[in-house]
Amino acid sequence: MHELAIMESVVDAVTERVGDVKVVRVLLEIGKLSGVVPDALRFCFDLATAETPLEGAALEIVEIPGRARCLQCLADVDLEDQIALCVCGSANLDFLSGQELRIREVEVSSNV
């Protein structure tokens, strides 16, 4: 399960940035086309945050829909996965969104 390694990297990145300050909430953006399963990340969160400043924090995940522009007819296309075709039949797509995996916000405790 690569989601555990991803969540451990998120914890490392946050603690590197905030140090020992207690984290209250983490907001992640996960693209629908990223290959990352949000429910698996949620499952790994408590394990990855144990004995860190993130222990007990809330995890929020915003899923970013997949979108692409057809380079053949220039139409914008909604995507459920990376194996996609434009309505014109072209597979020549430029991905616009849906591949994101980023830490959007970190809220720390005001009781420092």
Instruction: Check pLDDT > 80 for residue 1.
Output: no
Q: What tens digit of pLDDT does each residue of 42-96 get?
A: 999 999 999 999 999 999 999 999 999 999 999 999 998 878 888 899 999 999 9
Q: What is the pTM of this model?
A: 0.85
Q: Which amino acid is at 93?
A: L
pLDDT at 31 over 90: yes
- Asked if 101 and 67 touch (Cβ cutoff 8 Å), the reply is no
pLDDT score recorded for residue 112: 57
**C-alpha to C-alpha distance for 66 and 73, rounded to whole angstroms:** 18
**Is 105 in a helix, a strand, or coil?**
strand
Alpha helices in 34-77 (DSSP H): 38-49
Domains of the chain with bracketed CATH: 2-65+97-108 (3.30.2320.50)
